[in-house]
Amino acid sequence: MSLKGTKWKRTEDVFGLAAVINGLSTPHKDFIAAGGYGFIIGDGRLNYAKEMIIETYYNAHLAKNFWLTGDYQFVNNPAYNKDRGPVHVFALRGHIEF
């Protein structure tokens, strides 16, 4: 979901909120659990659970050609593993147009 800032008189700002639940296919889950490594996941042990992520951001138009976005993500069972996390991810991004 994204909401333009029109309601709070900041027409160039945007607030966003998203939620997702990710899972592995049975063959991929079995491969990782048996010690296989993937592009990002795999450490030889997998206590499988679906990965759940909630993300929110605010994109603020601060000057004529400059926007600044703050972002937060909460990740439960990162890398599909109950033994990991939860993880809190914070980000800040600037955007300049010439």
DSSP the chain: -EEEEGGGTEEEEEEEEEEEEE---HHHHHHHHTT---SS---S---B--EEEEEEEEEEEEETTEEEEEEEEEEESGGGBTTS--EEEEEEEEEE--
Domain boundaries, the chain: 2-96
pLDDT higher than threshold 80 for residue 38: no
Share of the chain above pLDDT 90, in %: 72
Q: What is the pLDDT of residue 18?
A: 98
In this prediction the pTM is: 0.83
